[in-house]
Chains A and B, each alone.
Chain A
Amino acid sequence: MAKMNAINNKSGSLTLDPGASGDSFIQFDINTTGEFRIGVDDDDLDKFKISQGSALGSNDTMVITAAGEITYPLTSAFCASVTAWGGTNVTGDGTDYTIAFTTEYFDQNSDFDGTSTFTAPVTGKYYITASVLVDEVSACTSSQFKIVTSNRTYKAYVLNVSQYAHAANYQATYSLSALADFDASDTATIHVDLAGGGKVVDIGYGGRGMFSANLVC
């Protein structure tokens, strides 16, 4: 039978123990609505959890395994890649092109729109990583790769891009990362802008281009 041990006045502690089976937990309600539950999930290897609602094991927001690993299954995190040849003739003449990342590997909390835009669900610091492979850059003399957020734009410049590129087919890879401050509903997109040639630069060879973000704190 489930039980709650009596308050221990000697040690200033509270011990919860359901007995042979069942969860050991504390329930936080407001006006009889289950808001959060914290405790040990007997049905999931005795992991410690903070869960939304009135049950451990559904809508878990923080999970600590018996080995100490911590996951946050509902916090904001996504990763997507460009589709093979996802953009042709998109820049090269100074055009600022917003890259589409249409292959979504995961989108925990559903904050990526499936194409190009990540929207911060809450105010916080987010870690952003981005990369892309560009093709046909033989005439380009300068370039910028950018993480564009509502608060500011983070840029990487590469000069003499045609020398940096793969000689046989004039392909090159850019990458950039930033720990960025977001307000709730702020957005982030990834841009590439090559100049000095014609609008013949393609992106997405082999699906090579990644965009990821996660809420850090």
Chain B
Amino acid sequence: MAKINSINNKSQELTIDPGNSGDSFVQFDINTTGEFRIGVDDDDGDAFKISQGSALGSNDTFVVTSAGEITQPLTPAFLAVLNSDISNVTGDGTAYTVVWDTEVFDQNSDFDGTSTFTAPVTGRYLFSWGLTMDALTAGMTVMYGNLVTSNRSYTVFQCDPGSFRSTNDEVGLCFELLCDMDASDTASVQFNVQNGTKVVDLITNGSADTYNFWSGYLVC
């Protein structure tokens, strides 16, 4: 028979036990509306969960497995990549904002599918990105890479791609940054190659490997 142990005034314990089967939980309501439920999901490997509404197993926001792994299935996290080349975007000083053609995942739907991530809540967000450029020439002696956010624009790399380009006239760069964002602030990836003509491409090399990517997630 399902049971919940009574509050133990001596040890200040509260034990909830449904018996042979069923969830063990505490329900937080306001005026009979189910707001959040916390407890152990008997139907999901006895994982501990914090879930929206009035059920464990739907709209889970925080999950602890019986092995201790923690996931946050609804918090913002996205990954976008390029699966096709983008040609002639800079080289002449144009500041190009990368337009990503493929969204690998977008947990919480905060990425617009092309260029812009919008913070749903105020917090600290970690962004990572990598770019592979082609058609660089010796005369292209200046390159800037920027993460453009509402609070500030970070110039995160500056170099001479004309000097250290590969024999195929390619350069690859990557970067990571922890940023403060207010709710509704935006972020995008931009780069700018100077002192040449507008012939610089972002390339995929026709490969299944990912040469250009951008990801971000809410840290805290």
Interface residues of A (CB under 8 A from B): 7-22, 24-26, 29, 38-40, 42, 46, 48, 64-73, 75, 77, 79, 105-106, 108, 127, 129, 131, 133, 163-168, 171-173, 175, 177, 206, 208, 210, 212-215, 217
Contacts and interface: CB of A to CB of B under 8 A. Distances in A.
Contacts of B220: 71-73, 75, 77, 108, 214-215
25 contacts: A7-B4, A12-B16, A12-B19, A12-B23, A13-B4, A13-B27, A14-B4, A18-B30, A46-B35, A48-B28, A48-B61, A64-B36, A66-B52, A68-B61, A69-B120, A69-B121, A70-B74, A77-B178, A131-B156, A131-B175, A133-B158, A166-B141, A166-B158, A172-B159, A212-B178
Contacts of B176: 129, 175, 177
A169 to B, nearest CB: 9
Contacts of B156: 131, 173, 175, 208, 210
Contacts of A172: 158-160
B172 interface: no
Interface range on chain B (Cβ under 8 Å from partner)? 35 or more
A67 B157 contact: no
A13 B37 CA distance: 10
Interface string B157-198: 111101110000000001111111000000000000000000
Given A65-B120, A166-B142, A217-B70, 4 more contacts: A14-B26, A108-B124, A171-B159, A175-B157
B219 A40 contact: no
Contacts of B32: 17
A39 B74 CA distance: 19
User: What secondary structure prevails in chain B residues at the interface with A?
Assistant: strand
A67 B24 contact: no
A64 B62 contact: yes
A96 B154 CA distance: 26
Interface of B: 2-4, 6, 12, 14, 16-19, 22-32, 35-36, 38-39, 50, 52, 59, 61-62, 70, 72-76, 108, 120-124, 126, 141-142, 151-152, 154-160, 162-164, 174-180, 218-220
A131 B18 CA distance: 54
A38 B62 CA distance: 14
B159 A79 contact: no
Contacts of A127: 126, 178
Contact of B50 (A8, A48, A79): A48
Contacts of B120: 65, 67, 69
Contacts of A25: 28
Contacts of A177: 176
B30 A17 contact: yes
